[in-house]
Structure formats: structure tokens, C-alpha cells
């Protein structure tokens, strides 16, 4: 079969062998140097490999449509490169800034106005609407002397000003360059020759693409073969009929192919392609099609991960599975986490704002710090990309804990450590030179940031970091180009920052044939896989909600067309066709998923597309979804939360260990095994939830922010009371506060407060207010204590034992099962009775009576009583929490009922001697169990007891209370 001249259209529904015909004709045309045009740059490698698999290697050329337009421009003699999106937006912004606007004045101040206007102008140019024609069309549409007329005149003037700006610069934008190239080719068709063009994978053509096809086929006479989806009477394909019907009259040949069943392993999927969106009797879907409904997005991701494991056990390779998402779905990160947890290889497309990347954020922070009034936080963000993490942590901690946020503070701190932030000076100096010196300097700083982490590391190039740097260079190159053409378009640091913040970095999935692919729905329209998961089938997401075009609504566009003949139809709807196309991509399994609520608890409505599939296979398909969900719930109820995360992670009796492996690093396990002693607070935290202990204690994370005010106030209160009691004992020989010694105690407090001390807050005003409050609280407590004389006299204060630097050893409890370390706030002793009371100061209201120790997980008083018995050779008769701030200053806890502490005690805090020893023994048993678990590294999430409000670290724990 030879290559036809002129235009050949190959049509048919999905899986009608259109690709087979196109590629066969392409191979036959290889001696003539044909070009195969595909939708995306990511498709180039795929079709190049497919052609190579059929022996076509030499002479093969596969391009996205932009590559075809570049080839047309080159042959037509249009040598100048088109400006990019960044340059166009900068030109538009300068035009808007210089315009005298009324109706559009408020809108023009919004951040996205220039970008929206640039897109609208591109649409006008793609449809070859010149400023003169557009102005005339708007005047025929808008009644004179109306607000609409003013709006129309302003919009037309902005377009005309933009085109004049391009002429002044001697530049073309992509649409004008394409139009100039196509016009030149029409005038000199021999420049193209007879190079065949094959276009495959497109379900529709944009205006410029349609212009190019018509120019090549009708004006140049080049052989053009294009495949387009079509089938008479099919509702699913009506959204894509316009382009076909536009091209059909001028086609030399139209090849209409019928649907074929040969492409499917599962006949049910062929039936789905035939019956979707059609009013036909339901058929049996078997196992080919299944529905997955999650409670929220994370649950949806978990169901998908579990189903992928099931398919892999059924013989489906990871490389034959694809997961498609739609729009700005939040699912891809959750999906990646789920697949990682199950050790399933995967590759996903990545798309992020340049400003959110490590390099981009650091570069913008440097620019803000140097020229845009940034603060210490900006300089620290840049520093993290230039220095060792530990060094950056130290500097940030120093600044934050001191409450210093000015740029000068950060600079002083850096220079004090021998690190001169010279980049600030380099940018400042460049900003005073002629454009584009600042852009050049910023690009050099970006290169330094990119290279810094890899210095002397012989590291392999990271594709994502390379894409980030490439995006930065491209954005700055466009700004540099127009700044050199016209210095007024330079815009300075603010314009550069705005352009970089708007830049987006994209990276296609890797070509790893052994990995599950996670990609956008549009990336899979022209390729087949064995198993496909279509995710996020929610109303408003897929199908996407209606979106009005900017500047002229759909209704206004219709009015404009009737009034002037200028057609601006806007973007055609295509959600129904896209869903149909996706459902035709898998050959064996199709899985459709959605969730019932968002992560914030908002109800999410299932897409009506799901109901269309249910109509094809009957209600049994939905009932099987319920059975799957019930099976998952039953399985979840049987398995511990952490275990079911990896229940299908393939093999071995210790599946739980794989989830907890990050918590069981060799270094941490060694530290736990060698731990000589345990503090009561650590044991309390572990007993509540080992994972919470790991996050708060095991990680050993350093605080980068100032201590919470309640922490600094509590530390100060402990120290001040110790000094008051010790000072009182030096004055009077007795540390007990009585009515007679109260004035001396208050004097000691004022003297202690008058001495220099670390601030309670880095903010001077807060520090002063808190010191006044602290003095008031402690005076009130001392007055309360003076009114409650006791036979137990204050004997020891801030008693440290078993800690590094402590003079006292660690008490050994439970026959050697537990060594204790800690610090007791105060021990009161009755020498005559040989008994002691242990006090723990509380500057908050969190005091627990004895009756709640077990429920609240309070181990500290009981353990400190046992420690005091060993350290002081006395019998502990009580352990009490002493509030310092609450309205009720009565101590709470447990005390033997035959002991008089002097102060009034709540009745149920008094226990018999036997009851007290029983309570102490029970708390000791809990502490010993916690110490044993800690030594074994038995990390068991306990969300029900982690805190009063449940799990404190759900992002880490990923479990729910049962």
C-alpha cells in the first residue's frame, strides 16, 4: 500500500487498528523521510520504540506538534525563535501597567490578570483575528455609550498595544510565528517538498494545528495522514466530531475502520467500549471491571494499592499497570506512599511550582533577602541550599530562639560563624548595573545552588533537579531576551521574582518498563496497558466542572459571532470522550475508584461516569463493590493497623517489621538496648504510645523555635522556689514557710527575681508581662503555704539522680528490672516519723488525683516516691502535684490517710497504707512493662491512649483508634 497524496483521514472508534494502519503506512514511507506527529513529548520515546520493534530505526522521526511547527518555520525561512510564555506575560504586564483603564482597572491589579490576558491574546492570534478585526467585531457587538462598550474598547486597546510592543521589539510570539511560517509556505509550497506527515493520537486539533494540517494538505500538496476518532451514531464520540467534519470535505481518502475485539484479553472490555454511553441491555462484567470506593482519598489510595497487589499475584507485571488521575488531584502523593509501603516499583509524572522546589525556593528567598525586603527566614532558606544542614540548623535555632527575624540579625549570626553571605552583595551590585546584569547574576547564583549539594560527591545527575534548573534558565533567558531588546521591559527584581514564582517545573514519568505508571489522564489516550486504574471519579473533578473562558463568556462569544462573524468558540468540552478513551486503554482489567469524603471531611459526590459503567454491566457491578468494601473492612478488623498497611507486601512472617523498620534503625535499637536508666516522663509517654515517644524523644530532634511560654515559666518557677526555700533555710535555719517566716520568704522571692535571668520570652514586652505574672503566682502560693504548716519540712529541692552530672545514683527498682533517672521538685521529710512527701510543681492545671493515675497514665509520683525511699532512707507517705497557677492551690495526688501534710487534702486522695502501696505497685508494674518494651523496640501505635484527642501524629502513625 503506497502513500496517498493530499489528505488521508483514518477514522474509527477506540481499538479499531487506527495506529496499526498509520504506523504501517509510515514504515512504507520511510524512504521519503516522513514525520510522525504525536500529542506529547513524552509519547515520542514510546512510538520510537514501537517503530524500532517493527524494524523501523533508520530515518525514523517522531515529533510532538511543536516539532512539526518548528520544521515548517525552518523550511519556510522563518528563522527567528518565538518568544516564550514568560516573555509574553512580561510584555502583557508592561502593556497593562501603561494602559489607562476604567472598567478593567480593578481586575488588572489581580496577580493572574496578565497571564489570563496573554492566553486570550494567544487564542485571538491562533484564529488569525488581527487587532483591527477584533476591534471592529467588539464595536459591532457592544452598544455605544455603554459600560460594555468601554470594556470592549479597553480590551481591544490592550490587544493592539501588545501587538505594537511586539513590532517594536522585532519579535514574534508562537502563534504569530506559526501563522507567518504557514503563510510563507502557502506562497512557496516547494519549500516543503513532498515530505509525508503522519498524525496519530490526537482526538482533536487546536486552531493552529488545524491550520497547519490544511496548509500542508491543501495548499502545499504534501501527503498528510491523520487519525481521528469517529463512529456514526456514537454518543461518546460526538464531542470530537467537529474537527473531522471540518477536514472531511477536502480529504482525498477517508478510511473508516470498525471496532475490533482482537486487542482485548477480556471480552467484557470490548463490550464496555461498544456499550458505554449507549442505551443497551446490561451485560456481565466478570472480573474485568471493578469499582473501588474509599472513605477518603487516603482510603482510596489504600484500596488501589491492595488491588494492584492482587493483580500482581494474578500474573500482571508492574510495568503493565497504569494509574491515571485528573487535574490537580491530591491522590498521586498518597498513591506513591502506598506503593512505596508495599514495595511496588512505580514512576510518576511530577509537576510543581518552581518556587516550591528546593532550588527554586532558595533562589527566590535569596532574591527577596537581597532586593525585596526579605527577612532572616529568607536568608536561612537560601543558606539551607548552600551549607551543611547542621550549620543551617544552628543558625536558624539561634535566631528563632532569640526571637530575631530581621535580615541584619541573620547576617550578623552568619558572619559571626565565619560564613559571609556574599551572594546578597553580588545581587545588590548587579541591580545597580544596566539590564540584564541582575538576570545574569541570578542565573549564576542558581547554578551555584544547583551544584552546591554535589560538590566533591561524584553524584549522578538527578533528573528532577536538572528539570528545575532548566526551568529557571528558560525563564531567565526569556526575561533577558526582552530586556536586551527594550530596557523598559526589564522590570527589576520584582518582575523577575513574579516570573519565577509563576514558573512550573514538569517531568514525565521515567521509561522504566518494570514500574507502575502514575500519570495524568491526558497522557494515556493513545497507549494501551494491561490494567488501568481510573481514580478520583468525583463530580467536579472527572468530569471537570464548567469553566468560563476569561474576558468573554460562552454566551458573549455567541453574541460576538452573531454580531460580527468572528468565531471564538473557546475550549470544546471533552470529558465524556476522555472517559470513553480511558476505558478503552486496558486490555485485561479496568478499575474505577472514588472516595466518599475529602480529607477535611467534606462530602464528595461520585461521578456520573461511574453510573454509566454500572448501566453497562448492571447493578451487580455496584454490589460487588460493596462486597469488596465489606471484605476490606473485615480484614481491617482482624489485622492490627500497622500490619494491614503491609498485609500484602508479599512475603515473610514479619510483615509488620517492614512498616516499623524506619523506627528500628540499628543506631536507635542500640541506644534502647544500652539505655542504663529511664525517666518517669519518658515511661509515661511510652506507655501512652510508643510512636509518640519516638517522635518526641527517640528522634532527638532539636527545637528551632523559642520554648513555649509555659515551659520557660515552669522552669523559672522551679528555680525560684528552690532559691526561696534554700534562702529561707539559710536565714532562719528552717525551710518551712510559716506565718512568721512568710515575710522573709517573700523577700527571698523578690531578691531572686531581681537577679539577672534568662528571658521568659524573646519579646521584651511579653517577658516583662510574664515576670509580673510569675511573681504574682508565686507570692500567692507562698501565702497559701504559710497558712498550711506541716510536720513535714522541706528538705531537698530539684533533686537530680541518675542523670549525667548527677551526684545521686539511679535508684534500682523491681529487683533490678528498672533503673530510674530524673529530678524531683521537692521532698518534705518528717524526721520523727521517718516519712516523706514528694511534690511535683505544676504551672498548668494538669494535676491528677490518685483515682485517675491509671487512667491518665501517671507514673511519675509513684516512681518518685520509690526513688525518695532509696535516696533518703525514708518511707514515702505521699506523692502530690502542687499547682502554682490554678485558682485551687490544693495539692492533688495520693497520700496516706494517717499523715497530716498541713494543707487540706481532697478526701479521695487519702488512701490507707495498704491502698497506697497497692497503687504504687501497680504503677511500678506499668513502668517496668514500658521499660521492657522500650528495650525491645516494641513500637506499637496506640492512638486510643496517645492523647485525650486521639493520635497526635496521624501523618506518621497512619492509623485509627479501634
Using a pLDDT cut of 90, give the percent of the chain over it: 59
What's the pLDDT tens digit per position in 85-107?
Answer: 999 999 999 999 999 999 999 99
Confidence of residue 497 (pLDDT cuts 50, 70, 90): very high
Tell me the whole-structure pTM to 2 decimals. 0.76
Assess contact for 819 and 677: CB atoms under 8 A.
yes
pLDDT at 48: 84
Does 660 have pLDDT greater than 50? no
Confidence of residue 1 (pLDDT cuts 50, 70, 90): very low
pLDDT at 459: 67
Place of cell 525514708: 874
First CA to last CA across the chain, in angstroms?
Answer: 68
Confidence of residue 644 (pLDDT cuts 50, 70, 90): very low
pLDDT at 700: 73
Question: Which of 99-103, 558-562, 567-571 is least confident?
Answer: 567-571
Burial status of residue 363 (CB atoms within 10 A of its CB: 0-12, 13-18, 19 or more): buried
pLDDT at 655: 32
Cis, bond preceding 781 (omega within 30 deg of 0) = no
pLDDT at 638: 42
Confidence of residue 635 (pLDDT cuts 50, 70, 90): very low
Q: What is the mean pLDDT of residues 315-337?
A: 87
Question: Which of 172-181, 185-194, 621-630 is least confident?
Answer: 621-630
Confidence of residue 172 (pLDDT cuts 50, 70, 90): very high
Annotate 885-940 with three-state secondary structure: CCCCCCCEEEEECCCCCCCCCCHHHEECHHHHHHHHHHHHHHHHHHHHHHHHCCCC
Q: What is the mean pLDDT of residues 389-402?
A: 87
Does 778 have pLDDT greater than 90? yes
Using a pLDDT cut of 70, give the percent of the chain over it: 91
Question: Which of 40-44, 376-380, 494-498, 579-583 is least confident?
Answer: 40-44
Does 29 have pLDDT greater than 60? yes
Confidence of residue 656 (pLDDT cuts 50, 70, 90): very low
Instruction: Please tell me the total number of residues recorded for the chain in this structure.
Output: 962
pLDDT at 496: 96
Nearest to 88 by CA among 112, 121, 66: 121
- The distance of Cα 730 from the centroid of its chain, to the nearest Å, equals 60
Does 928 have pLDDT greater than 90? yes
pLDDT at 596: 86
Grid cell digits, residue 702: 532539636
887/486: higher pLDDT: 486
Q: What is the mean pLDDT of residues 50-68?
A: 85
Does 759 have pLDDT greater than 50? yes
Q: Determine phi and psi for 812, rounding to 5 degrees.
A: -105, 125
**pLDDT, mean over the chain:** 87
Euclidean distance between CA atoms 194 and 1, whole angstroms: 17
User: HSE on the CB side for 303, CA within 13 Å?
Assistant: 29
- The distance of Cα 399 from the centroid of its chain, to the nearest Å, equals 27
Q: Which long-range contacts (CB under 8 A, 24 or more apart) does 805-810 make?
A: 808/871, 810/676, 810/677
Contacts of 255 (CB under 8 A, 6+ apart): 8, 9, 10, 11, 21
Confidence of residue 886 (pLDDT cuts 50, 70, 90): low
347/545: higher pLDDT: 347
284/411: higher pLDDT: 411
744/462: higher pLDDT: 744
Assess contact for 864 and 798: CB atoms under 8 A.
no
Q: What is the mean pLDDT of residues 613-630?
A: 76
Q: What is the mean pLDDT of residues 203-217?
A: 94
pLDDT at 628: 55
Most confident stretch, 43-47, 257-261, 703-707: 257-261
pLDDT at 129: 95
Confidence of residue 663 (pLDDT cuts 50, 70, 90): very low
Does 9 have pLDDT greater than 70? yes
Q: What is the mean pLDDT of residues 935-956?
A: 80
pLDDT at 661: 43
Q: What is the mean pLDDT of residues 842-848?
A: 77
Confidence of residue 207 (pLDDT cuts 50, 70, 90): very high
Does 662 have pLDDT greater than 70? no
Does 657 have pLDDT greater than 70? no
598/263: higher pLDDT: 263
pLDDT at 636: 41
Nearest to 528 by CA among 65, 46, 62: 46
Euclidean distance between CA atoms 936 and 536, whole angstroms: 42
Question: Which of 197-201, 330-334, 833-837 is least confident?
Answer: 330-334
Place of cell 497487589: 309
Amino acid at each position: 500500500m503506497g502513500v496517498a497524496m493530499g489528505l488521508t483521514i483514518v477514522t474509527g472508534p477506540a481499538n479499531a487498528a487506527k495506529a496499526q494502519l498509520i504506523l504501517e503506512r509510515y514504515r512504507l514511507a520511510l524512504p521519503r523521510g516522513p514525520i510522525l506527529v504525536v500529542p506529547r513529548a513524552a509519547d515520542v520515546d514510546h512510538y520510537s520504540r514501537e517503530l524500532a520493534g517493527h524494524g523501523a530505526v533508520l530515518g525514523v522521526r517522531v515529533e510532538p506538534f511543536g516539532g512539526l511547527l518548528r520544521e515548517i518555520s525552518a523550511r519556510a525561512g522563518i528563522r527567528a525563535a518565538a518568544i516564550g510564555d514568560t516573555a509574553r506575560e512580561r510584555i502583557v504586564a508592561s502593556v497593562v501597567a501603561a494602559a489607562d483603564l476604567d472598567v478593567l482597572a480593578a481586575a488588572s491589579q489581580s496577580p493572574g490578570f496578565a497571564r489570563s490576558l496573554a492566553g486570550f491574546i494567544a487564542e485571538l492570534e491562533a484564529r488569525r483575528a488581527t487587532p483591527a478585526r477584533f476591534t471592529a467585531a467588539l464595536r459591532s457587538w457592544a452598544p455605544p455609550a455603554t459600560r460594555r462598550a468601554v470594556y470592549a474598547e479597553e480590551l481591544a486597546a490592550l490587544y493592539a498595544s501588545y501587538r505594537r510592543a511586539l513590532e517594536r521589539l522585532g519579535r514574534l510570539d508562537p502563534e504569530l510565528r506559526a501563522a507567518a511560517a504557514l503563510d510563507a509556505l502557502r506562497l512557496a509550497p516547494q519549500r516543503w517538498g513532498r515530505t509525508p506527515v503522519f498524525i496519530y493520537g490526537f482526538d482533536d486539533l487546536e486552531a493552529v494545528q488545524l491550520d497547519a494540517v490544511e496548509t500542508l494538505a491543501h495548499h502545499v500538496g504534501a501527503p498528510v495522514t491523520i487519525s481521528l476518532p469517529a463512529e456514526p451514531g456514537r454518543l461518546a464520540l460526538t464531542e470530537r466530531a467537529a474537527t473531522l467534519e471540518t477536514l472531511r470535505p477536502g480529504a482525498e481518502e477517508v478510511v473508516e475502520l470498525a471496532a475490533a475485539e482482537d486487542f482485548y484479553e477480556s471480552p467484557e472490555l470490548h463490550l464496555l467500549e461498544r456499550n458505554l454511553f449507549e442505551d443497551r441491555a446490561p451485560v456481565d462484567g466478570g472480573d474485568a471491571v471493578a469499582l473501588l470506593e474509599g472513605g477518603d482519598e487516603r482510603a482510596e489510595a489504600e484500596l488501589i494499592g491492595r488491588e494492584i497487589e492482587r493483580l500482581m499475584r494474578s500474573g500482571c507485571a508492574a510495568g503493565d499497570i497504569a494509574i491515571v488521575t485528573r487535574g490537580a488531584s491530591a491522590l498521586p502523593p498518597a498513591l506513591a506512599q502506598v506503593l512505596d509501603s508495599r514495595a511496588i516499583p512505580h514512576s510518576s509524572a511530577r509537576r510543581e511550582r518552581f518556587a516550591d522546589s528546593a532550588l527554586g525556593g532558595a533562589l527566590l528567598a535569596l532574591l527577596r533577602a537581597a532586593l525585596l525586603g526579605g527577612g532572616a527566614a529568607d536568608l536561612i532558606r537560601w543558606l539551607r541550599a548552600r551549607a551543611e544542614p547542621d550549620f543551617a540548623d544552628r543558625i536558624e535555632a539561634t535566631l528563632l530562639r532569640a526571637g530575631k527575624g530581621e535580615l541584619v540579625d541573620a547576617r550578623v549570626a552568619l558572619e559571626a560563624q565565619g560564613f559571609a553571605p556574599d551572594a546578597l552583595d553580588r545581587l545588590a551590585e548587579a541591580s545597580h548595573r544596566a539590564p540584564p546584569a541582575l538576570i545574569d547574576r541570578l542565573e549564576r547564583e542558581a547554578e551555584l545552588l544547583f551544584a552546591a549539594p554535589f560538590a566533591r560527591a561524584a553524584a549522578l545527575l538527578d533528573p528532577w533537579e536538572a528539570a528545575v534548573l532548566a526551568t529557571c534558565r528558560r525563564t531567565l533567558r526569556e526575561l533577558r531576551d526582552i530586556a536586551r531588546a527594550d530596557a523598559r521591559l526589564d522590570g527589576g527584581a520584582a518582575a523577575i521574582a513574579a516570573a519565577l514564582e509563576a514558573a512550573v517545573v514538569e517531568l514525565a514519568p521515567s521509561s522504566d518498563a518494570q514500574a507502575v505508571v502514575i500519570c495524568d489522564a491526558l497522557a494515556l489516550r493513545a497507549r494501551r496497558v494491561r490494567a488501568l486504574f481510573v481514580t478520583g471519579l468525583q463530580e467536579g473533578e472527572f468530569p471537570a466542572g464548567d469553566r468560563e473562558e476569561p474576558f468573554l463568556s460562552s454566551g458573549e462569544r455567541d453574541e460576538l459571532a452573531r454580531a460580527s462573524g468572528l468565531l471564538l468558540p473557546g475550549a470544546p468540552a471533552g470529558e465524556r470522550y476522555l472517559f470513553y478513551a480511558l476505558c478503552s486503554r486496558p486490555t485485561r482489567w479496568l478499575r474505577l475508584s472514588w472516595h466518599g469524603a475529602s480529607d477535611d471531611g467534606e462530602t464528595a459526590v461520585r461521578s456520573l461516569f461511574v453510573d454509566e459503567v454500572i448501566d453497562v454491566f448492571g447493578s451487580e457491578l455496584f454490589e460487588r463493590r460493596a462486597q469488596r468494601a465489606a471484605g476490606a473492612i473485615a480484614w481491617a478488623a482482624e489485622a492490627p493497623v500497622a500490619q494491614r498497611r503491609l498485609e500484602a507486601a508479599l512475603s515473610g512472617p514479619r510483615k509488620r517489621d517492614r512498616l516499623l523498620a524506619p523506627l528500628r534503625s540499628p543506631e536507635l535499637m542500640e541506644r534502647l538496648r544500652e539505655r542504663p536508666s529511664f525517666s518517669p516522663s519518658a515511661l509515661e509517654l511510652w506507655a501512652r504510645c510508643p510512636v509518640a515517644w519516638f517522635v518526641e524523644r527517640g528522634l532527638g530532634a532539636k527545637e528551632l523555635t523559642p520554648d513555649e511560654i509555659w515551659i520557660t515559666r515552669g522552669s523559672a518557677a522551679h528555680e525560684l522556689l528552690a532559691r526561696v526555700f534554700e534562702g529561707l533555710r539559710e536565714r532562719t535555719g528552717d525551710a518551712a514557710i510559716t506565718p512568721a517566716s512568710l515575710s522573709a520568704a517573700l523577700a527571698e522571692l523578690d531578691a531572686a527575681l531581681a537577679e539577672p535571668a534568662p528571658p521568659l520570652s524573646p519579646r521584651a514586652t511579653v517577658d516583662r508581662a510574664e515576670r509580673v505574672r510569675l511573681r504574682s503566682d508565686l507570692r500567692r502560693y507562698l501565702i497559701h503555704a504559710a497558712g498550711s504548716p506541716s510536720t513535714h519540712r522541706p528538705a531537698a529541692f530539684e533533686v537530680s539522680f541518675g542523670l549525667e552530672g548527677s551526684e545521686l545514683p539511679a535508684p534500682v527498682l523491681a529487683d533490678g528490672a528498672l533503673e530510674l533517672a530524673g529530678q524531683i521538685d521537692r521532698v518534705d521529710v518528717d524526721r520523727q516519723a521517718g516519712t516523706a512527701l514528694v511534690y511535683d510543681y505544676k504551672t498548668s492545671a494538669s494535676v491528677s488525683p490518685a483515682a485517675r493515675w491509671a487512667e491518665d497514665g501517671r507514673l511519675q509520683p509513684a516512681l518518685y516516691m520509690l526513688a525518695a525511699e532509696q535516696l533518703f532512707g525514708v518511707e514515702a507517705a505521699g506523692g502530690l502535684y502542687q499547682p502554682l497557677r490554678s485558682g485551687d492551690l490544693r495539692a492533688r495526688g495520693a497520700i496516706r490517710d494517717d499523715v497530716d501534710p498541713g494543707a487540706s487534702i481532697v478526701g479521695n486522695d487519702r488512701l490507707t497504707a495498704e491502698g497506697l502501696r497497692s497503687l504504687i505497685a501497680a504503677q511500678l508494674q506499668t513502668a517496668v512493662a514500658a521499660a521492657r518494651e522500650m528495650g525491645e523496640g516494641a513500637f506499637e501505635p496506640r492512638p486510643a491512649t496517645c492523647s485525650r484527642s486521639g493520635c497526635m501524629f496521624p501523618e506518621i502513625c497512619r492509623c485509627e483508634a479501634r
